[in-house]
């Protein structure tokens, strides 16, 4: 067994991974999310800088020694991870930092960061002999689960809010998932999926309650560290809804620190939407004792982070505290502007939630909270093609012309004046 134990984030109880699938029975599904423990000394013996340097595996599976996979036969061939980390010096100069990097996870098989977690979960489902996997999702987690389950024989049952963007719904259906489009919010879909999975014995991939998700999500951090030659950045910006992706990013750096690969965990900054910022509020009230949870109704066009009842709030608050990080919030207007600027200035097209990370970077610069020596990474967690309706709101329209050179000349004249 690679996994040495599962530890409750709230009470610290440690469980045998064979003993339970989800959360600490003492603390319940919300406070009792579990951390995956490893025997780092044992892993250190084979998992070294040199071994990684020799590895020809350019996917998240290059980190297999620190992933909770017991049976490698279940690894899907889809290439997930080892996504590009682009350096953009023109923007670094403009915003007054030393280096700015964009980690583009829109290039994953189903076009979001969530593939890193789904790739693990379909393996765990098969190791556990499950036949059905279920998931409630704002869209990306579900479509990635459907994609990664497509080749496994697992049946996939999905609960999404009916309002999920068209592209995400289309992805679910094309991968063959059974889709329940809930007339209600993501938070309601989540509770419904929890109840149904329990009743019917489905393996639940919904955020936070499944401890193995964060392990997949940590691989983005492992890559950032390796791509920067183990010189970790000063700041890493991560968009936050349920708080699982950011918890994964912390866990990745934490594991590297334990293994002696890096000297410190970078400051991790969570970016929430103004209309859905319950983790930011809880963080600001956190004193080191119990995390105070106050839910809200979520209101933002960034559907992937439209979460009012965040399920990984305890981990996210504790981890970001440990990382000397903090949370900020950005408006929908700032998110839309960020989509446009990022695409026009770098060629990276982000969906609204993903662009929130870049909006957060711009906001910190505007508030004078960045320094000239900062090396900054923004995690772009999903492709803009997932939600073109949002992108359309910040662009002009094409010029309609007839099939004649006269029309071309007319438009070119018009454009000259612009």
Ligand X SMILES: Cc1ncc(COP(=O)(O)O)c(C=O)c1O
351, interface contact from Zn ion, ligand X, none, CB < 5-8 Å by kind: ligand X
Residue with smaller CB distance to ligand X, 33 or 59: 33
Residue with smaller CB distance to ligand X, 140 or 185: 140
8 lies in the site for Zn ion, by CB under 5 A: yes
State the nearest-atom distance from the C-beta of 396 to Zn ion, in Å. 53
27 lies in the site for Zn ion, by CB under 5 A: yes
- Nearest partner of 190 among 249, 138, 121, judged by Cα: 138
Residue with smaller CB distance to ligand X, 241 or 275: 241
State the nearest-atom distance from the C-beta of 382 to ligand X, in Å. 3
Contact 187, 210 (CB under 8 A): no
3-state secondary structure of 117: helix
Residue with smaller CB distance to Zn ion, 13 or 163: 13
140, interface contact from ligand X, Zn ion, none, CB < 5-8 Å by kind: ligand X
State the nearest-atom distance from the C-beta of 27 to Zn ion, in Å. 3
Q: Where are the beta strands (DSSP E) in 80-121?
A: 85-87, 99-104
State the nearest-atom distance from the C-beta of 114 to ligand X, in Å. 6
242, interface contact from ligand X, Zn ion, none, CB < 5-8 Å by kind: ligand X
Q: Which stretch binds Zn ion (CB under 5 A): 28-36, 296-304, 328-336, 390-398?
A: 28-36
Report CA dihedral (229, 230, 234, 235) to the nearest 10 degrees: 90
- Nearest partner of 87 among 71, 101, 67, 105, judged by Cα: 101
24 lies in the site for Zn ion, by CB under 5 A: yes
Residue with smaller CB distance to ligand X, 149 or 259: 149
26 lies in the site for Zn ion, by CB under 5 A: yes
Q: What is the DSSP letter of 25?
A: T
3-state secondary structure of 349: coil
CA distances 358 to 94, 202, 321, 361, 397, Å, are 14, 37, 21, 5, 24
Q: Count residues contacting Zn ion (CB under 5 A)?
A: 8
> CA–CA separation, 47 vs 67, rounded Å?
12
214: Cβ contacts below 8 Å, ≥ 6 apart: 35, 36, 117, 244, 247, 248, 251, 312, 315
CA distances 297 to 101, 138, 199, Å, are 33, 15, 27
1 lies in the site for Zn ion, by CB under 5 A: no
Residue with smaller CB distance to ligand X, 259 or 335: 335
Q: What is the DSSP letter of 61?
A: G
Residue with smaller CB distance to Zn ion, 13 or 296: 13
Residue with smaller CB distance to ligand X, 66 or 306: 306
Q: What is the DSSP letter of 5?
A: E
Residue with smaller CB distance to ligand X, 114 or 375: 114
State the nearest-atom distance from the C-beta of 194 to ligand X, in Å. 16
Q: No. of H helices and E strands in the chain?
A: 17, 13
Summarize as ranges the residues that interact with ligand X (CB under 6 A). Answer: 112, 114, 138, 140-141, 207, 239-246, 304-305, 307, 351, 353-354, 381-382
- Record the tokens describing residue 95, joined without a space: 């915003």
383, interface contact from Zn ion, ligand X, none, CB < 5-8 Å by kind: none
Helix segments in 323-404, DSSP class H = 332-346, 352-366, 388-392
Task: State the residue for tokens 């004193």.
Answer: 287
27, interface contact from ligand X, Zn ion, none, CB < 5-8 Å by kind: Zn ion
- Record the tokens describing residue 320, joined without a space: 């970001």
Report the residue from 6, 30, 32, 383 that binds Zn ion according to the rule CB under 5 A: 32
State the nearest-atom distance from the C-beta of 70 to ligand X, in Å. 24
179, interface contact from Zn ion, ligand X, none, CB < 5-8 Å by kind: none
264, interface contact from ligand X, Zn ion, none, CB < 5-8 Å by kind: none
Residues of the shown chain interacting with Zn ion in the complex, contacts defined by CB under 5 A: 8, 10-11, 13, 24, 26-27, 32
């Amino acid at each position: 067994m690679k996994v040495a134990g599962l530890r409750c984030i709230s009470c610290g109880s440690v469980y045998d991974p064979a003993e339970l699938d989800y959360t600490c029975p003492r603390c319940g599904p919300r406070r009792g999310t579990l951390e995956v423990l490893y025997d780092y000394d044992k892993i250190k013996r084979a998992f070294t800088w040199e071994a990684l340097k020799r590895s020809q595996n350019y996917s998240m599976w290059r980190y297999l020694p620190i992933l909770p996979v017991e049976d490698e036969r279940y690894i899907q061939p889809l290439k997930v991870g080892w996504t590009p980390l682009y350096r953009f010096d023109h923007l670094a100069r403009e915003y007054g930092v030393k280096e700015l990097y964009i980690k583009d996870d829109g290039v994953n098989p189903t076009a979001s960061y969530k593939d890193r977690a789904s790739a693990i979960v379909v393996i765990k489902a098969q190791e556990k002999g499950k036949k059905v996997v279920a998931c409630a999702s704002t869209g990306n987690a579900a479509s990635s689960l459907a994609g990664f389950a497509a080749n496994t024989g697992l049946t996939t049952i999905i609960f999404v809010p009916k309002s999920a963007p068209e592209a995400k719904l289309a992805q679910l259906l094309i991968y063959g998932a059974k889709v329940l489009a809930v007339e209600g919010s993501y938070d309601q879909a989540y509770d419904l999926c929890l109840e149904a999975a329990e009743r019917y014995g489905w393996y639940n991939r919904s955020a936070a309650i499944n401890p193995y998700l964060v392990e997949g999500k940590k691989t983005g951090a492992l890559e950032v560290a390796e791509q920067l030659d183990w010189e970790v950045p000063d700041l890493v910006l991560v968009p936050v809804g349920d708080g699982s992706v950011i918890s994964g990013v912390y866990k990745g750096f934490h594991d590297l620190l334990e293994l002696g690969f890096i000297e410190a965990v970078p400051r991790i900054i969570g970016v929430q939407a103004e209309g859905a910022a319950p983790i930011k509020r809880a963080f600001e009230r956190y004193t080191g004792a119990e995390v105070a949870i106050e839910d809200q109704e979520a209101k933002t066009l960034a559907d992937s982070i439209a979460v009012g009842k965040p399920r990984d709030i305890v981990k996210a608050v504790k981890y970001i505290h440990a990382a000397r990080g903090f949370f900020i919030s950005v408006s929908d207007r700032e998110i839309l502007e960020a989509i446009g600027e990022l695409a026009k200035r770098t060629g990276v097209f982000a969906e609204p939630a993903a662009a929130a990370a870049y909006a957060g970077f711009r906001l910190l610069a505007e508030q004078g909270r960045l320094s000239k020596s900062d090396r900054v990474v923004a995690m772009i967690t999903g492709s803009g093609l997932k939600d073109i309706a949002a992108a359309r709101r910040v662009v002009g329209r094409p010029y309609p012309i007839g099939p004649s050179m006269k029309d071309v000349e007319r438009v070119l004249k018009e454009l000259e004046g612009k």
